Structure 1
Amino acid sequence: MDRPELALPQLHAFTVLAEELHFGRAAARLGIAQPPLSQQIARLETKVGHPLFVRGPGRVVLSPAGRELLPSAQRALAGLADGLAAARAVGSGRAGRLRIGFSASLALTVLPGLLRTFRERFPAVELDIREMTTAPQLAALQLAVLHEDAVDIGLLREPPPAGEAGSLGFRTVLTEPFVAVLPSDHPLAARRTVGVGALAEEPFVLLPRAAGPGLYDRITEVCGSVGFAPRIVQHAVEWQTVCALVGAGLGVSLAPASIRRIRLRGVAFRAVEPSTVRTRVAVAWRRDDPNPLVGQLLEVVGTE
């Protein structure tokens, strides 16, 4: 049995002849001579097993079998044209699907502007946005591209050192200072700035290290630089929960400055000294990812 795709040139010749009802005009439209056109029609009629045209002196009309075939042939050719157009759009990075993982706190900083700019430039792209802490993002970037849990782009805090990057690429998007997160009635909340060392005797509420090893280590490193290790009494996966627990009096925290946009009663945010202490936000991707949309998003990041 003939494979269906082998009939596509014949279907094209058939539909053009059905529209022109004249071999000469149809051949000219197709850019071929009349004998090859006649051969294409003859091959298709052999597949169907019945004549598709009634030929007469100076005239050609569709046979009953031809009239029945024409709508299906037109749909098949239109579907192929749509498929080719869609494939070209995806291949050129103008359409397709882009899976983006992001740390929740970045919804308070770079994420909204980045997504807005990307959508304005590439409105046909489907964005699959997934809220994930840093460690799960890195794991999802290591999965095979076709895996349903994989992501194509990660927006995360404190990426791993260059020596541990492996097949992933990282680009810094921004750096931001830390703030002290305090109960609003805490004595330190009366100050405009708080030295990190002033938190040495305080209980801490922090994200678990498993959620974001780089950020966790950065915070403990900041504390260590002034001579103490934070005494962690409670972990919470989301910064909003960390702030809520601080407001409930369970302890204090050090957090990226963007966390100040979380408005919770009973919580105060204060700049910390030294002010040079900062945390890094980066975009991450697979270096060998064939998806052209990855490069498109990286270009947008570079212009933000």
Structure 2
Amino acid sequence: MKRPELPLQQLHAFVVLAEELHFGRAATLLGIAQPPLSQQIRRLEDKVGHALFSREPGRVALTPTGRELLPAARHALIGLADGLAAAREVGSGRAGRLRIGFAASLALTVLPGLLRTFRERSPAVELDIREMTTTPQLAALREGIIDIGLLREPPDDADLGFATVLTEPFVAVLPSAHPLARQRAVRVDQLADCPFVLLPRTVGPPLYDQIAGLCVTAGFTPQVAQHAVEWQTVCALVETGLGVSIAPESIRRIRLKGVAFRRIEPDIVRTRVAVAWRKNDSNPLVPRLLTVLHQDLADTPHADRSPAPSRCG
């Protein structure tokens, strides 16, 4: 990077003198004695190669060279002041850019409220919101592509910090014409004979293992008829009759006419939604967002509980 040809201190002295056209008053405004001011102006004139001021007894005036330099000098000083102010805003966490990855299902729970509150408190911050499943989020965090992740079932990772935002129970996702949809709640073992539509394990291994574990605990291994990367697609495939699914409770906010959501009994396993960040991140906006989460987000309410039997028909 090329070093600036003219020191800012000399430019500042030049602008003040150009505005005052009096060495004594300019020196007072600069907080220096008159001789050092005269020395700075002479050094600047040496760099420019021409006189900037005409000096006559009782009168100081800008030369044509000085009049030409003055707008550029003012612009440089204003640009520096603006840059310093902007840097202070970023350093204090009042401005800057924050990149947030989120699992699509969290747009149905914590994401809207979090973004709304954060924007109200930090309106000058630019938010870059990226929809990503859990596994790509973790990779993006480690590589510095995003600053914050909102995901399900975070793994152990020495380089990342995690904090639970909420926990929620699972629900059965059924075609509305399915016999089990007539019940208020179902047991997992009632789904044993049904084909399943699930997310691929690669997009979120811990969540997939939780759902599969519910089935194994109920005495069967789920027969996966179809995979889909997003819960919206899972629900759409369930609506067509391709199978059933087990999903976090917030997925019931996806409104599809041909899909029924039913509580799973007993409610013994919950999925955890967490915020994730790099432990060594120096971006001051990261702790600022974590503070918003800590202060303003509460766990979603638990589903009420009432039993009911039947089998996949």
User: TM tier, shorter chain?
Assistant: over 0.9
Q: How big is each residue's C-alpha offset from its partner over 1:5-61, in whole Å with a ceiling of 9 and x where there is no partner?
A: 651100000000011111111000000000111011001100110000111111111
Question: What pairs up with 1:185-224 in 2 under 5 angstroms?
Answer: 185-224=177-216
1:95 aligns with 95
2:69 aligns with 69
Residue 156 of structure 1 is aligned with which of 140, 151, 158?
151
Question: What pairs up with 1:1-150 in 2 under 5 angstroms?
Answer: 3-4=3-4, 7-143=7-143, 145=144, 150=145
2:161 aligns with 169
Confirm or deny: 8 A CA contact 2:6 2:47 kept in the other structure: no
1:151 maps to a residue whose letter is: I
Q: How big is each residue's C-alpha offset from its partner over 1:45-96, in whole Å with a ceiling of 9 and x where there is no partner?
A: 0011000011111111110000000000000000011111111111111111
Residue 274 of structure 2 is aligned with which of 278, 282, 285?
282
Aligned partners of 1:181 and 1:221: how far apart in 2? 17
- Structure 2's unaligned 5+ residue stretches are 297-313
2:208 maps to a residue whose letter is: Y
Q: CA deviation at 1:4?
A: 1.4
RMSD between superposed Cα atoms in Å = 1.0
1:233 aligns with 225
Confirm or deny: 8 A CA contact 2:141 2:278 kept in the other structure: yes
Q: Percent identity?
A: 75
Counterpart of 2:19 in 1: which secondary structure? helix
Counterpart of 2:247 in 1: which secondary structure? strand
2:252 aligns with 260
2:293 maps to 1:301: yes
Q: How big is each residue's C-alpha offset from its partner over 1:100-136, in whole Å with a ceiling of 9 and x where there is no partner?
A: 0000000000000001111111111100000000000
TM-score for both structures, normalised by structure 2? 0.93
- Structure 1's unaligned 5+ residue stretches are none
Distance change >3 Å, CA 5–CA 191, structure 1 → 2: farther
2:150 maps to a residue whose letter is: L
Aligned partners of 2:138 and 2:247: how far apart in 1? 21
Aligned partners of 1:42 and 1:179: how far apart in 2? 80
Counterpart of 2:202 in 1: which secondary structure? coil
Counterpart of 1:4 in 2: which secondary structure? coil
1:187 maps to a residue whose letter is: P
Aligned partners of 1:57 and 1:288: how far apart in 2? 63
2:242 maps to a residue whose letter is: L
Q: CA deviation at 1:196?
A: 1.0
The number of residue pairs the alignment matches comes to 295
Aligned partners of 1:88 and 1:15: how far apart in 2? 25
TM-score for both structures, normalised by structure 1? 0.95
Counterpart of 1:210 in 2: which secondary structure? helix
Aligned partners of 2:277 and 2:25: how far apart in 1? 54
2:288 maps to a residue whose letter is: Q
Counterpart of 1:250 in 2: which secondary structure? coil
Aligned partners of 1:29 and 1:228: how far apart in 2? 84
Confirm or deny: 8 A CA contact 2:172 2:186 kept in the other structure: yes
Q: CA deviation at 1:3?
A: 3.5
